[in-house]
Amino acid sequence: DWMGRKRLADRIKDTAPDAIILMYLGAMFDSHPMITYLPEALRQRGIKARLVTRFENPLSHADPFRQPFVSRIKWKLSKTDDSTPEFGQLLARSDAIISLCNYHRAVLLDADPSAADKIEIIPPPCNIRFEQDRGDLRLAGRRNLGASEEEVLIGYLGYVYANKGFDTLLYSLHELLEGGKLRRLVVLGGAVDLVGKGEDYLGRMQSLSRELGLEDYVTWTGSFDPNSARIVELMHAIDFFVLPFDNGVHLNNSSVSSVMTYGKPLVTTSSRHADLAIGESGAAILVEPKSVSELATAIGELATNKGKRAEMQVAAREFAATHFSWPACIDATLACLDIDGRRLREGADTHSRAMTG
| Axis crossing angle, helix 306-323 with helix 254-261, rounded to the nearest 10 | 120
H or E stretch at 144: helix 137-145
Tell me if residue 138 falls in helix, strand or coil: helix
Q: What percent of the chain shows pLDDT beyond 90?
A: 86
pLDDT of the residue at 348: 54
| Axis crossing angle, helix 306-323 with helix 292-303, rounded to the nearest 10 | 110
Which tens digits make up the pLDDT trace of 42-96? 999 999 999 999 999 999 999 999 999 999 999 999 999 999 999 999 999 999 9
**Residue 352 reports pLDDT greater than 90:** no
Residue of 197 and 312 predicted with greater confidence: 312
| Sequence-separated (6 or more) residues with CB below 8 Å from residue 108 | 55, 58, 87, 91, 97, 99, 115, 119
pLDDT of the residue at 129: 96
